[in-house]
Amino acid sequence: MAATPNCQLVEAAVLAAFPNARFGRYNCRHIGSNAIKPWSQHAGSEPARRYFGNALDIWHVDHKPAGKPADSSPAHQTWLRAVRAFITLNYAPIVDQMLGPGDNAAHANHLHMSTWPKMKSNWWYTPPCKGGELVVIHEDGTTGTTFEEEEMITRNDKADDGLGVHDQNFQEAVDAGVMSSFTQPGGVAFNDEIATFLARAGVLNIAALEARITALEASGNGLQDGDTVKLNKV
Ligand SMILES: [Zn+2]
């Protein structure tokens, strides 16, 4: 099931840059499956447009055994931090929330992210997946009734869209503390790994993203709804 437009944009970009990424999207439930907590953005849906879920859970395919939760090994956490840095560098304007390793125990084994506009989530609200009307909240506080795409300027829109921009972005991320330079137990330099990912990202363009989104929708890529339950906490 396709996620909301901005979640789809991020998903397509992540998958293009990190082919081993897998995603959980839709789950009609409250945060932590706790009925007295607000609704999860995973419940955000717009059935008329076949959008289900305004949040992504992201993990590496090799770090989630079938039927089991993803692992929180150092190698997986390193990879998750790379994905997080990629999203932060390129899509910060449409990211509502992002949680991953280092934030809390529940997110040591995957990334959770949601996008603007987000679904109203008060616990007394009835979302479309429970038969209610859709209410979305934009970053400026205004409300609407659809998950239309937010205006966004990405790093990839810069005139110099070559690898030099990504090298610069990488250094900015290190300087800002978004990423840290360290070496995995296996001896693979984190910086080299990141550089490879960002080099791939350098060839992204909107037409390619749109093609990827179309392919994703056609293929139903990703796990089934029930598979996301163990991972989703937010
Ligand atoms: Zn999640």
Question: Alpha helices, DSSP H only, in the chain?
Answer: 5-17, 74-91, 163-176, 190-201, 206-219
Domain match, 132 and 159 both? no
The predicted pLDDT at position 156 comes to 45
Domain match, 105 and 30 both? yes
Token code pair at residue 133: 């009307």
The predicted pLDDT at position 174 comes to 53
Distance from Cα 159 to the centre of ligand 1, integer Å: 34
The predicted pLDDT at position 66 comes to 87
Which residue shows structure tokens 């110099």? 160
Whole-number Å distance between alpha carbons of 52 and 25: 7
Question: Alpha carbon 50 to chain centroid distance?
Answer: 19
Token code pair at residue 173: 């991320």
Distance from Cα 39 to the centre of ligand 1, integer Å: 12
Q: Which of 20, 31, 27, 35 shows the shortest CA–CA distance to 70?
A: 20
Distance from Cα 56 to the centre of ligand 1, integer Å: 6
Cβ–Cβ under 8 Å, residues 70 and 76: yes
Distance from Cα 233 to the centre of ligand 1, integer Å: 6
Domain match, 90 and 114 both? yes
Total number of domains constituting the chain = 2
Domain match, 33 and 73 both? yes
Whole-number Å distance between alpha carbons of 51 and 54: 8
Q: Vertex 188, ends 80 and 203: CA angle to 5°? A: 60
The predicted pLDDT at position 178 comes to 44
Domain match, 34 and 65 both? yes
- Residue-number span of the structural domain to which 194 is assigned: 151-231
| Average pLDDT, consecutive stretches of 10 residues, N- to C-terminus, the chain (234 residues) | 89 89 91 87 91 94 91 92 87 90 90 95 91 92 91 51 47 49 34 45 41 54 33 40
- Give every CB contact of residue 102 below 8 A, 6+ residues apart in sequence: none
Domain match, 111 and 179 both? no
Distance from Cα 225 to the centre of ligand 1, integer Å: 12
Angle between helices 5-17 and 190-201 (to 10 degrees): 120
